[in-house]
Structure 1
Amino acid sequence: MQTAHISAIVTGGASGLGAATAAALADGGARVYALDLPDACSAAPAVDGVEYVPTDVTSEAEVRAAVATASADAERPLRVVVNCAGIGPSARILGKKGTHSIDLYRKVLEVNLLGTFVVMTVAAEAMAATEPDADGQRGVVVNTASVAAYDGQVGQAAYSSSKGGIVGLTLPAARDLAQYGIRVMTIAPGIVETPMLATVSEEFRAGLAAGVPFPQRLARPDEYARLALAIVDHDYLNGEVVRMDGALRMAPR
């Protein structure tokens, strides 16, 4: 799948993994629609080839409007979707302050898992209506899980549940959409240097990096972007989860 002369959607596209991926796709010739919450979109820097579209990924109506925008140019069919939107609050199932908030658990699943499903489903409908390329391809969806799907730590019950759901979604989604020429892949990053880590100390970051076998450092958002583009380019990758973690296996704490 080529990135030149196509349209692409990147959720969570105003910062972190999403911003790096949106910029990389635009650099490859795609017209990118970066979906994010209104405040994030208004604060995001201008990037050539990237249009910010304020969207709540849990809202089917808002997602349908965003996909319609991304699909409007017949000369640039929607071919790529990369789902990076997500949240990761921490809370124990039973802690000193009581039980895990059910509303918080629901919110994490709604944003991370339901949001991924909504965007993938609505975008797949639009992709399926396009003319296939010479190889019968109409598109590729790259979702974002986490190593927490496998190695969830203390306090990650909600986050790990949501990311585990994305892992479990990968193969059946690929099988469902195969008849339309749409591939589905998932990346499971380890610890990435994103804005969520900007508020912690250098000492804490060094401690996180020390737990990575090799390279013994945190991953960079551009490395996620490069992997996403490699998946888009490699037509025989489908229905699989790729860990990007430096061989990290998370400890309980």
Structure 2
Amino acid sequence: MNIQGLSAIVTGGASGMGAATARHLAGLGAKVTVLDVNEDAVLKTAHEIGGLGLVCDVTDGASAERALDQARSAHGPARIAVNCAGIAPAQRIVGRDGPMPLESFRTVIEVNLIGSFNILRLAAADMAKLEPLESGERGVIVNTASVAAYEGQIGQAAYAASKGGIVALTICAARDLARNGIRVMTVAPGLIGTPMLLNMPQEVQDSLAATVPFPKRFGKPEEYARLVQHILENEMLNGDVIRLDGAIRMAPQ
């Protein structure tokens, strides 16, 4: 897929990997719509890249439908959709105050898993109506999981379950959408230098970075964005999960 001139949607695009991906795709000539719940930040990112910034709650069907309608009106139907929206609260299944509130678990599943599926289903429906490109391809959807899908740490029950769901969804969605010429891939990042990690005390950051076999540092959001570019451009990448983690395997805590 040649990215130049194509319409792209990036969720969670107000910061971190989403913002880096939005900037990178815009730099490659894509017409980018950035979605996020943080209005000020999403508008700032969109302004920086000359794209469209929209407030969108990915867990809400109507909100996502409105956002994709607006994106379609501005840029045409998207051939590229990248799901970066997510949350990562930590909470033990049974803590000092008793069992984890069910609503806490539900919220993480809603944002990370159901939110990703919500955008996937709507973007895929638009892509399926497009004329195929020369190769027969109509679009590409990239979801974001985590190494926690494989090695969830203590306190990550909800997060690990949500990301494990995205991993399991990948091959199913790719097979389901193959007849439409739509590819589906997932990236499972390890320790990436997003605001969540970079706001930790420096000694904590150094300790975490030391657990990465090589290179002994956090990944960069821009490295995630470049991997997304490669996925878009490499037609044989479909129905699989790529770990972006410097060979880290997470310890229990």
Regarding TM over 0.5, the answer is yes
Match of 1:216 in 2: 216
Letter paired with 2:81: V
The CA distance in 2 between the partners of 1:100 and 1:44, in whole Å, is 35
Match of 1:63 in 2: 64
Match of 1:97 in 2: 97
Q: Is the Cα contact below 8 Å between 2:132 and 2:181 reproduced in 1?
A: yes
Cα RMSD between the aligned structures?
1.3
**What is the CA-CA distance between 1:118 and the residue it aligns to?**
0.3
Q: Deviations over 1:83-115 (max 9, x none)?
A: 000000000001112111110100000000000
The CA distance in 1 between the partners of 2:236 and 2:50, in whole Å, is 27
Q: Is the Cα contact below 8 Å between 1:30 and 1:49 reproduced in 2?
A: no
1:49 aligns with 2:47: no
3-state DSSP of counterpart to 1:160: helix
The CA distance in 2 between the partners of 1:139 and 1:80, in whole Å, is 6
1:141 aligns with 2:145: no
1:73-222 aligned at under 5 Å gives the runs 76-222=76-222
**What is the CA-CA distance between 1:51 and the residue it aligns to?**
1.4
The farther-off stretch of 129-138 and 166-175 is 129-138
The farther-off stretch of 38-47 and 48-57 is 38-47
Q: Deviations over 1:208-228 (max 9, x none)?
A: 010000001000100000001
3-state DSSP of counterpart to 1:32: strand
Letter paired with 2:49: D
Q: Is the Cα contact below 8 Å between 1:11 and 1:34 reproduced in 2?
A: yes
**What is the CA-CA distance between 1:43 and the residue it aligns to?**
5.5
Instruction: Tell me the TM-score normalised to structure 1 length.
Output: 0.96
Letter paired with 1:54: V
Q: Deviations over 1:138-164 (max 9, x none)?
A: 100000000000000000000000000
The CA distance in 2 between the partners of 1:159 and 1:5, in whole Å, is 35
Label 1:7 to 1:42 Cα distance change in 2 as closer, same or farther (>3 A).
closer
Q: Is the Cα contact below 8 Å between 2:143 and 2:186 reproduced in 1?
A: yes
Paired residues, number: 252
3-state DSSP of counterpart to 2:34: strand
Match of 2:28 in 1: 28
Q: 5+ residue gaps in structure 2?
A: none
Label 1:77 to 1:43 Cα distance change in 2 as closer, same or farther (>3 A).
closer
The CA distance in 1 between the partners of 2:138 and 2:192, in whole Å, is 31
Percent identity between matched residues is: 53
The CA distance in 2 between the partners of 1:65 and 1:224, in whole Å, is 28
Q: Deviations over 1:21-75 (max 9, x none)?
A: 000000000010000004342554722332111000011111111112222357x
Q: Deviations over 1:107-134 (max 9, x none)?
A: 0000000000000000100111111111
The CA distance in 1 between the partners of 2:38 and 2:102, in whole Å, is 26
Q: Is the Cα contact below 8 Å between 1:67 and 1:126 reproduced in 2?
A: no
Q: Is the Cα contact below 8 Å between 1:23 and 1:50 reproduced in 2?
A: no
Q: 5+ residue gaps in structure 1?
A: none
